Structure 1
């Protein structure tokens, strides 16, 4: 039980690192998301998004050995993953590549939510 938050951070961190390759440019972004990117402004936004996911993934991985970062990293990852799921569901229409992202985020969300609960439970138990 005490290793669950570590495993969740590792898995969710890797999931969040996966899109960082999109920062390399439009061809990579097009492969990642199965879309055509003809507007350079959209390319800039998506490349920036890829970098931010890389930062978030790195924070989750750094939080594994640094207990003081864990709750923040778990919460940030959970907000990131659930917000994407919410936007996708609200939109209602997306391609197969985005569906893979939604599935990965559902997995990450479940892991991170349980890891948060376990982390709070372990801290409470240790303080009594």
Structure 2
């Protein structure tokens, strides 16, 4: 059981690092999400969003090796995937690329919840 929380954190770090490629511009964002970027202002916001995903990925990866950061990182990862899923459910008719993101985030949500439970059982009290 020692590897479950660090393993989940590393896996979810990879999931959050993948969108970092979007920092390269509108073309890469279109490849990632299947959504055209309508203007330079939206492109700037989306590219900045990818940087934030990279920062979250770095936090999750570092926390995998720091048990004192497990609780905070698990909640950060949960907040990220749960918020996307909530927004995705509220928007009907999304494209196939975004549906794939939702499936990956749903899998990450299950893994993070399991890791949170393991952390709690091990005495980390991450549930409260």
Instruction: Identify whether the pair has TM-score above 0.5, normalized to the shorter chain.
Output: yes
Q: With structure 1 as the length reference, what TM-score do the two structures score?
A: 0.93
Alignment of 1:21-36 (within 5 A): 21-36=21-36
* Cross-structure match for 1:12: 12
Three-state SS of the structure 1 residue aligned to 2:46 is helix
Q: Write out per-residue CA displacement over residues 80-110 of structure 1, whole angstroms, 9 at most, x where no aligned residue.
A: 0011001000112210110110011001111
Q: Does 1:60 align with 2:67?
A: no
Is residue 85–residue 105 contact of structure 1 (8 Å, CA) maintained in 2? yes
CA 1:87–1:124 in 2, change beyond 3 Å: closer, same or farther? closer
Write the distance in 1 (CA, Å) between the matches of 2:40 and 2:121: 47
Aligned to 1:81: 81
- Structure 1 stretches of 4+ with a deviation exceeding 6 A read none
Gaps of 5+ in 1: none
Using the alignment, how far apart are the partners of 2:93 and 2:76 within structure 1?
Answer: 26
TM-score when scaled to structure 2? 0.93
Alignment partner, residue 117 of structure 2: 117
- Cα distance in 2 for partners of 1:54, 1:114 equals 23
Provide closer, same or farther for how the CA distance between residues 74 and 124 of structure 1 changes in structure 2, counting only shifts above 3 A. closer
Q: How many residues align?
A: 125
Query: 2: distance between equivalents of 1:47 and 1:102?
Result: 20
- 1:103 equivalent to 2:103? Answer yes
Measure the CA separation in 1 of the matches of 2:16 and 2:33: 14
